[in-house]
Amino acid sequence: MKLSTKSRYASRLMIRLAMDSSLDPLQLNEISRKENISEKYLSQIVIPLRKAGLIESVRGARGGYKLSRSIKEISLLDVVNAMEGGVEIVHCLKDDKLCDRTSSCTTYRVWDDVTKAMEMTLARYTLDVLLDMISSSDDPMSEI
């Protein structure tokens, strides 16, 4: 039950975008350097984020990416949802046609409950909360 690197890298990328106060878009090449993640891989990660409407891209020279909403309005639930297509821990939560036991399934209710707990927790971590966590950290040079 591991989170994919895509979700984790996407989270770090989003925090980098949130940290960038400049009006110009931030380029993948810079995020790649700071986060030590292949630029090519980042360029894949960025696609679902854009499709989910979390970020906007600017093409061409001096292009890059920026958040499309305020840092208060983007949570890690949004990010993980975008990357994984939902955080459901079993397929039948997403598509109940996958299993005809659903309506009478006891464990189904448990997995649903667990999924909701994850969602609630992730939703609490909006980008502004994460920035607060970083700025209140002991080490001012801390990584994200």
Partner DNA sequence: AATAAATACTAGTAAAATAGTAGTATATTG
Partner DNA sequence: CAATATACTACTATTTTACTAGTATTTATT
For residue 135, CA distances in Å to 90, 112, 127 come to 36, 35, 12
Alpha helices in 1-144 (DSSP H): 5-19, 28-35, 39-51, 76-84, 106-124, 127-135
For residue 124, CA distances in Å to 98, 117, 130, 133 come to 30, 11, 10, 13
Q: Which is nearer to DNA, 118 or 129 (CB)?
A: 118
The answer to whether residues 35 and 9 touch, using CB atoms and an 8 Å cutoff, is yes
Counting contacts by CB under 8 A, is residue 123 touching a copy of itself? no
Counting contacts by CB under 7 A, is residue 97 touching DNA? no
Binders in 60-89 for a copy of itself, by CB under 8 A: 76, 80, 84, 87-89
The answer to whether residues 55 and 49 touch, using CB atoms and an 8 Å cutoff, is yes
Q: Residue 11, CB half-sphere, CA atoms under 13 Å: how many?
A: 18
Counting contacts by CB under 8 A, is residue 23 touching a copy of itself? no
Instruction: Decide: helix, strand or coil at residue 105.
Output: coil
Counting contacts by CB under 7 A, is residue 125 touching DNA? no
Counting contacts by CB under 7 A, is residue 40 touching DNA? yes
Counting contacts by CB under 7 A, is residue 5 touching DNA? yes
Q: How many residues make contact with a copy of itself (CB under 8 A)?
A: 41
Residues that bind DNA (CB under 7 A): 2, 4-6, 27-29, 38-41, 43-44, 46-47, 50, 57-65
Residues that bind a copy of itself (CB under 8 A): 1-4, 7-8, 11-12, 15, 76, 80, 84, 87-91, 101, 104-107, 109-111, 113-114, 117-118, 120-122, 125, 130, 133-134, 137, 139, 142-144
